[in-house]
Amino acid sequence: MMSIHPAQLNDWLASAQQEGSSERLPVVLDVREPWELQTASVKPEGFELVAMPMRSVPARYLELDRDHPVACLCHHGARSAQVVHFLMQQGFTQTVNIHGGINAWSSERDPAVPVY
């Protein structure tokens, strides 16, 4: 499973945009719970932000495109790693885990994102 740090997201987004023929932006799939999204959220800059709590992914993953770049995000990176593994088993080809989750996002990308 491929993993990137939040600080590497811009490079991953640029690479994903070049590889894809789609006009759509890459997706950051936030698999945290609704209360967590209310506590701390990221701004969708250069990507489409999709909120899909981990427990709902098996029922909802078909809302995502298997051949479209997807980076999974959670609190510290454990839930998102499980979702990446699941998506890869379902045939997703361009899926990465955001290592360290939103906690690392706050320190590496955007200090305005609250740490909880």
Residues with catalytic function: 74
68: region left, alpha or beta (phi > 0 left; psi from -120 to 50 alpha): beta
C-alpha torsion 67→43→97→58, nearest 10: -60
Question: CA separation (Å) from 76 to 48, 68, 98?
Answer: 20, 24, 9
